[in-house]
Homo-oligomer: A and B are copies of this chain.
Amino acid sequence: MPPGRSRRTSPVSSEFGLIRLLEAQTRHPDRQVYKGIGDDTAILKTSSTEWTLITTDLLAEAVHFDPATSSFEDIGYRAAIANLSDIAAMGGTPRFMLVAIAIPPTCSTAQIQRLYRGMMEAAAPYQVSLVGGDTSASKQGLFLSITLTGVVQPSQALLRSGARVGDRLYVTGTLGDSQAGLDLLRSRRRPALRPAHARFLLARHHRPSARIAEGQWLVKQRLAGAAIDLSDGLTGDLRHICEESAVGAEIIADALPLSPACRAYAAARRLDARQIALQGGEDYELLFTVPRGKQARFERLAGKTGFHFTCIGSITAKRLGLRLRTGTDTTQPLPVTSYEHFLRPS
């Protein structure tokens, strides 16, 4: 989870623009801070050859995870991916992890060990070292706080603020799968769906991927303008890019990358799969921009990688806001709704 981003999950946290203001007031100028609050991670100019990324994330039972529908391994895995994904969105390499946990009396040691096992499994491909943490009691509910650091070459990190009018908008992977998987978990009456499709959607919810390699490739090729990871959902996270870059954006509904499983799920539920893709959270795909003049080169080079990139729209003038193109001539404003974890009415 990016520093300073508030999840709109309570009357209080929705007012956290106020806290950001307070933070800004209390901050003194610090020459080592290249980017503080307001991006996927902070960027610290810690040496002349390497800058440090750092992000922290606090996950609460019944808000971000539910042991009734997720195994402890999966809860740990997803929590680690949420942080790895923030490093991916900067184009960085993850390095060190710290895990603090508050444990209610209802949790067993075996459950907590499974949680750690899931976290370490998610982090294992990246040679991330667990270097610290804290364990404490909780009167009620399990709380999990992960801090992850990473590194990036000086001035190379992908910022939210790098989008310019005319840039093309891209995403990795497919969208909406995690939301569809979560909806499946929470349904009393599951829709008729092929077992393989159901398995795919549940896996995408429980075991998402952090797009570390894609982020690093974008940095290396110097082809991306701005980037963010999709934790709040496409609409919500695109809004962050637009705010930080002072631009608008237009998404082409028919261009949104959808998995066959998500399409089948939407059909079974008589929903518009594109709506799930627009609003569903926690896909942990990357959303990024490519300047118009670099698009041909990007497409050519991307074709040689095994990565899955899809152009889903473009950056427009700020005054046009966020719009959705549904036909050849029809655009409409994108509603401001965003993914709200478990507290979201469903």
Q: Which residues of A contact B (CB under 8 A)?
A: 1-7, 9-13, 15-16, 18-19, 22-23, 26-28, 30, 32-33, 36-37, 41-42, 44, 46-47, 52, 54-64, 95-96, 98-105, 107-109, 112-113, 116-117, 120, 124, 127, 129-141, 143, 145, 147, 149, 341, 343
Q: Is the interface of A mostly helix, strand, loop or mixed?
A: mixed
Complex CA gap A165/B6 in Å reads 52
Further pairs besides A13-B136, A63-B137, A143-B145: 7, Cβ < 8 Å: A3-B134, A10-B104, A19-B109, A19-B113, A37-B132, A56-B132, A102-B143
Q: Which residues of B contact A343 (CB under 8 A)?
A: 137
Given contacts A95-B32, A103-B13, contact A3 B133 (CB under 8 A): yes
Q: Which residues of B contact A56 (CB under 8 A)?
A: 56, 98-100, 132-134, 145, 147
Q: Which residues of B contact A11 (CB under 8 A)?
A: 105
| A143 B58 Cβ-Cβ under 8 A | yes
Complex CA gap A59/B134 in Å reads 9
Complex CA gap A13/B138 in Å reads 10
Given contacts A105-B10, A137-B13, contact A129 B33 (CB under 8 A): yes
| B140 A37 Cβ-Cβ under 8 A | no
Given contacts A36-B129, A140-B140, contact A103 B134 (CB under 8 A): no
Question: Which one of B32, B95, B138, B145 contacts A141 once the chains associate, using CB atoms below 8 Å?
Answer: B138
